[in-house]
Structure 1
Amino acid sequence: MDDDARYLHLEARLAEVEARLAKLEEFPRPSDEADGSLEAEAFWALRGLRERLAEQPAMAPAGGVLFTGVVTLPDGEYCEWQQGAFTHALLRHDWAEFSNAFSALAHPVRLRLLQEVVRGERTVAQLQEHEDMGTSGQIYHHLRQLTASGWLQSSGRGQYTVPEVRVVPLLIALSAMTVPGSPGTGEE
């Protein structure tokens, strides 16, 4: 690579880093006193959803759901995601269509694999270093199931990532399981 090409490459990478930093600076960081929740601004998303439903009176009686998130993963990958749905549409949908995605999450090793990939361990070699993951054949079996259900995607040469559109929904599903008093949280 000649000096001009190297300079252009570095300039492009610097612009990308500056853009990511600008996005991060748009959002307040939690204080050291925070307990991990957003209770200081309780129900701001709920207020916004109510306002949105009020703008569509035909949909308002049944209501709707909204989930959103802004995430910077340990490897620096930045994800923003928001999704909402009207209740009547969700109730009409055939929930059985989601069984593969849910069942893929219903195994401790698959959840652990997802956790390690989100944390930045993206290669099969890195994942195999964890003794509790099983044999390489078992790991590939679980990776295939997670890939087939859309929780992972193969980025080539034995590397896996959680697709950006799945990062926030995955963290929301985990967050829903940590509601105090819920089975499995230890807070009953």
Structure 2
Amino acid sequence: MRKTLIAASLLALAPLTNAADYVIDSKGAHASINFKIQHLGYSWLTGRFNDFEGKFSYDKKNPEAASITVKINPASVDSNHAERDKHLRGEDFLDVEKFDSAKFASTEIEDLGDGKLRVKGDLTLHGVTKPITIKAKKVGEGVDPWGGYRAGFMGKTRIALKDFGIDYDLGPASTHVDLELHVEGVRQ
């Protein structure tokens, strides 16, 4: 009976022991948080956030047990135009004096097969927390040239500015922001 209980306990813990923890390699510039929004309906304005950090847990045998958290410094917004970036940091948009951080924390991950994942979680931006869904795909994983182990993913989502309390009028074509995420993690 005791051996049966021990075996059952080990089997219950088996999925947990296969999961690995990763730190997102933002310092080595192997990860990025990019955005694009239509500018007045005439073109696309693109940019990124330069300062962020995060971690994730992942087991290729049990992807639905994965989790991810990312913290973003909204003051690091970079659209390759200093005056525009100053405006984006101001009260009309990110209001970084009042809201000095943004974050994402997964709540559920669904394995769609063939490396595709649906990542649901809570995004906090501009002081508002809302659920979002990210369409993600595993890019790959393996040993790196320095003896470490890495795993990489990409994802896309679209958010409405008004959902996060940002109501600056850029016209009807500019109500949503597309986010493209590239995440490479180093296993700890």
For Structure 1 versus Structure 2, the TM-score category normalised by the shorter chain is under 0.3
Select the structure with the greater relative contact order (CA < 8 A; seq sep ≥ 6).
2
Which structure shows the bigger proportion of residues in strand conformation? 2
TM-score (norm 1): 0.22
